[in-house]
Chains A and B, each alone.
Chain A
Amino acid sequence: MNLGAAEHHDAAARPAAAQQSGALRRIEVAGVGRVFEDGFEALASASFEVPAGSLTVLVGPSGCGKTTLLRMIGGLDAPTSGAVRFLGDAGTLPPPRTAFAFQEPRLLPWRSVAANVALPLELAGVPRGERLDRAASMLERVQLADAGRKLPGQLSGGMRMRASIARALVTEPELLLLDEPFGALDEITRHALDDMLLSLHARLGMTVVMVTHSIVEAAYVGSQVVVMAPAPGRVVATVRPGFAQRTPALRATPEFAAATAGIMRSLAQAMVPAGGAP
């Protein structure tokens, strides 16, 4: 119904975003390792590239260092070896405008959903009218247009997570980092939110790096899937599922089964202890 206005907003916002992100071509994760202060090696050495505008998924079991790696890409943690570089045509760039969404929605329970979504703008000093407008349009994008005045406690788990994604997107980030955002939801809700994420990504065009422990989710949303294994954390394969069209029915096709099987095979080979196979 309000689609015309939303599209118009897109058209207005996009060139600005393109100008800034136009400079970013790819994120280079070059031999990144992290040893914690207690000597625990969370990540041995990870190397791969995240093309600008891609949706890259880091998938692996607990303890494979995927969250640590995501935090280092976002600048919340520093590598003990290697480096994360943001590359443009003319060399290294400063880190792009980055937003996070976590496994928990992390909404302030005393604030309305709209005020929660507007929080990053409020902290950045954006005037009240503008930030509420932007929060409202972002809530519309995540199909929460009618929930803006509610409190987080009145929403379902899936709706809270959508509000959390809207809050991350409200700053129009060039890089969106998602740490198991749908991990606490039931499978059917998770599938619906995966579809929502894909359509947001297609419309807004930001670079997304997402951590998950669900192979099905990784194969479905990832334009690139980085498969990781634990003890010590490392990258064991990089897969590009390359589906022509991603609709909910894709999950039931043989080619999708083949893609998940490929990821499982990489994981199974990596998880066999060295010399332990008969």
Chain B
Amino acid sequence: MIRRAFHAAFPPVAVVVALLAAWQAAVWAFAPSEFLVPSPMAVARALRDGSGQLLAAARLTGLSAAAGFALAAGIGIVLGSVLSASRFLMRGLYPIATLLQMVPLVAIAPLLVVWCGYGARTSIASAVIVSLFPVLAATLDGMRSTDPGLVELFQVNRATRLQRWWKLELPWAIPSIVTGLRIAAGLAVIGTIVGEFVGAFAGEDAPVGILITSALRENRTDMVFAAVFVASAVGFALFGVVSLLGWVLLRRWHASAR
């Protein structure tokens, strides 16, 4: 057990340590200004000294990202279910959803401020917009691939449309939905920080997006790196929760969780 965990963890840990060492060595050797490239040591110091600020930022950004992700998951699964049940709605709405997905978030983010105002609502809306499509597409694909033999079984037993959705199509689509949610988890954090760049303000505590912009203004590149590290950790945590949920739902019956 411990041996196996060690074998799994050793290669990535070794690579990360080697990269950090090379980075530190390069900073010592070429001595660029701290403003251009901070050393890993400087970043570690920023993480330690700014820990209070960074934790508060992680909490704010994490809450916005989680809220945006949850909304996108709910809307995506419901909308995907509705589209999969209606050929007309699918033909009508899916191409539009695909097109909307191509609109760059950064371009419409200022509009979100106009509609949602300054604060967390803009960040959440921004997170919803980027993470909705993967959930919608995964739900739709998963449900449309339901085994026709099982659909016939439900029809023969006179299942209602709602029974067919709840007892057959939704569980059938879960492996696909979990994959969509994994992609959406990372995107939700990106969307949140973009929203914070344009529409957040610093109250008592500042979210990660504000921390980054104000650190840049103060030429604190080490703090920017620390904030990026925190943002990645928030994304990783969200991804981990989704993966755990998928494992709990699928481990007993689906090959993807073995």
User: Chain A interface (Cβ within 8 Å of chain B)?
Assistant: 74, 76, 100, 102, 104, 106, 108-110, 119-120, 122-124, 151, 153
Contact = CB atoms under 8 A, between A and B. Distances in A.
Interface residues of B, number: 17
Interface stretch (B86-94, B152-160, B204-212): B152-160
Interface of B: 147, 149-150, 152-154, 156-159, 163, 167-168, 171, 252-254
B30 to A, nearest CB: 57
B149 A123 contact: no
Main secondary structure of the interface of A (DSSP, over half): loop
Nearest to B151: A106
Contacts of A108: 150, 167-168, 171
16 contacts: A102-B149, A106-B152, A106-B153, A108-B150, A108-B167, A108-B168, A109-B254, A110-B252, A119-B157, A119-B167, A122-B167, A123-B154, A123-B157, A123-B158, A123-B167, A124-B158
A123 B150 contact: no
A109 B149 contact: no
Contacts of B153: 100, 102, 106
A102 B149 CA distance: 9
A123 B159 contact: yes
Nearest to B160: A123
A120 B158 CA distance: 9
B109 to A, nearest CB: 40
> Closest 4 interchain pairs by CB?
A110-B253, A120-B157, A109-B253, A123-B159
B157 A151 contact: no
Nearest to B158: A123
A108 B157 CA distance: 14
Among B149, B171, B253, the most chain A Cβ lie within 10 Å of the Cβ of: B253
Contacts of A102: 149, 152-153
Nearest to B255: A153
